[in-house]
Structure 1
Amino acid sequence: MPRLATSERYSISLPAGHRFPIAKYELIREQLLWQGIAPAADFYDPGLAAEEDILRVHSPEYWQRVRELRLSP
């Protein structure tokens, strides 16, 4: 089984009705552990992404909105 990236930092509060289903990622981790598909040792915290890496996949405008907590639902 490959190692799986996870972090408590991934659990963020988004406005009700936001299109990004953030809660499902923690539920997936819990389900993999519960079913014994992935033991706790397979999970690791990858640390924070550098801004340079973030901007490789997101526009500067989007990244600015994220930093200012201005994501639309």
Structure 2
Amino acid sequence: MAAALMRMAADRGADKTFCPSEVARALAEDWRPLMPEVRRVAATLPLVATQGGDPVDPLTARGPIRLAQDPG
């Protein structure tokens, strides 16, 4: 899962975001149950989670988030 998240971030590039569900969908046909784990793993990686362009904690954010490479 971590590798898939980092691969998606690299494929998108430094200035682009992606929805964590894109990774979950790539991992399983029944992807919705994977979403909490995708967010948990994303929180451990050099990724930034945002909502409406503002940084958020992927573990506590409610609703859709976007992920991107951490520019730092």
> Taking structure 1 as the reference length, what is the TM-score of the superposition?
0.25
Higher relative contact order (Cα pairs below 8 Å, separated by 6+ residues) = 1
Higher strand share: 2
Q: Mark the structure with the bigger radius of gyration.
A: 1
> Taking structure 2 as the reference length, what is the TM-score of the superposition?
0.25
